[in-house]
Amino acid sequence: MAPAARALPSDGRGHAGRGAAFVLLLTLVASVVQAEAAKDPAARSWRIDTEHLFGFVIGTDVGNVGDKEVEAEITGGFGKRPGSYAALAPSFEYEFVPIDNLRLAPSVISAVHSISGVDGIDDRQQAAFDGLSFDVRYRILDRSRSGVGLTLNAEPHWGLVDETSGQWVDRYGADFAIAIDHELVPDRVVAAINLLYQPETSRLHTTGVWTRDATAGIAAGLMVQVFPGVLIGGEGRQLWKYDGIGLDRISGRALFVGPTMYARLTARSWMIAAWSAQAAGRAVEIPGALDVTNFTRYQAKIQFGLEF
């Protein structure tokens, strides 16, 4: 059994300060983009597209036939007890739409870990190639026609690095999602809900032991277009971690909430930035108001896209 959790070290305030700085950065970027948009009359007619609108939540739009783009993304998890913990997953993705309602996107993923003094995890300073993934989204309902969008998402992946500890593993899994979205106010306010299931199995190289686990959850996001091509909002995700892929024994739960921003930088480029903090949670049989055993204290994401 994992050791009892202790109080967060003093650097927890540093994480909170970085979160506040992150929100300030979003506001500054939005102001700059708004100023540029005001100079371009064509930009004022930008319509909401939810394909890349949210941070950790996904929308139902998948693009048009023939669309192609490249995306660079960094997601990160920060904060475990005690000590210092950061895990980043930089990735590069190529996306294309071969037929109506179908979006395909292979990705190359790396892993960066900086861990010191965390209970149950070896200290590590490491950057490595991790693996590959292949994202498939199929839209069943088009929001522009039916009023509500519905898309199914499956993303199988293979990896060589344990996401939490940074140890070398053989890792196989998939992320499944059902996405629903609706414009509460046309071209102004949009909301989305995701149902999530993420099974994974891995074999630790040092011991040869196989482990299986799964994450299930529900996520929701709300975005408001404050300037043409600039939307600011928030997301909430309730996640449950299970031992085994059959959701038979829960090991912890966590609620993440935080701000998100989307900005259309040019006619062919965009960015997303999101920050989430664990607002509530509990690891099974481990005392504490939060679950920093199965999850991190904070999560962040920044993504840039270029269409061509």
- Assign residue 104 the CATH number of its domain: 2.40.160.40
At 25-41, the pLDDT tens digits run: 655 555 555 555 555 54
Q: What is the pLDDT of residue 247?
A: 87
Per the structure, the count of domains in the chain is 1
Rounded Cα gap, residues 79 and 125, in angstroms: 15
Domain assignment present for 1: no
Lowest mean pLDDT among 70-79, 152-161, 193-202, 239-248: 239-248
At 85-96, the pLDDT tens digits run: 999 999 999 999
Residue 50: which H helix or E strand, with range? none
Mean pLDDT value across residues 140-145: 96
Is the pLDDT confidence value at 65 over 80? yes
Domain assignment present for 7: no
A 10 A CB-CB count for 216 gives 18
Domain assignment present for 3: no
- Region of residue 118 (left: phi > 0; alpha: psi -120 to 50; beta: else): beta
Candidates 198, 194, 104; CA nearest to 157 is 198
Domain assignment present for 136: yes
Domain assignment present for 71: yes
Mean pLDDT value across residues 229-239: 97
Mean pLDDT of all residues in the chain?
89
Residue 45: which H helix or E strand, with range? none
Domain assignment present for 233: yes
Rounded Cα gap, residues 296 and 308, in angstroms: 36
For the chain, report the end-to-end CA distance as a whole number of angstroms: 52
Lowest mean pLDDT among 43-57, 67-81, 117-131, 244-258: 43-57
Domain assignment present for 251: yes
Q: How confident is the model at residue 287 (pLDDT cuts 50, 70, 90)?
A: confident
HEC secondary structure over 165-215: CCCEEEEEEEEEEEEEEEEEECCCEEEEEEEEEEEEEEEECCCCCEEEEEE
Q: What is the pLDDT of residue 7?
A: 36
Domain assignment present for 38: yes
Rounded to two decimals, the pTM is 0.87
At 218-232, the pLDDT tens digits run: 999 999 999 999 999
Q: What is the pLDDT of residue 22?
A: 58
Q: What is the pLDDT of residue 1?
A: 37
The parent domain of residue 17 ranges over 12-307
Is the pLDDT confidence value at 58 over 50? yes
List the structure tokens of 90: 């930089």
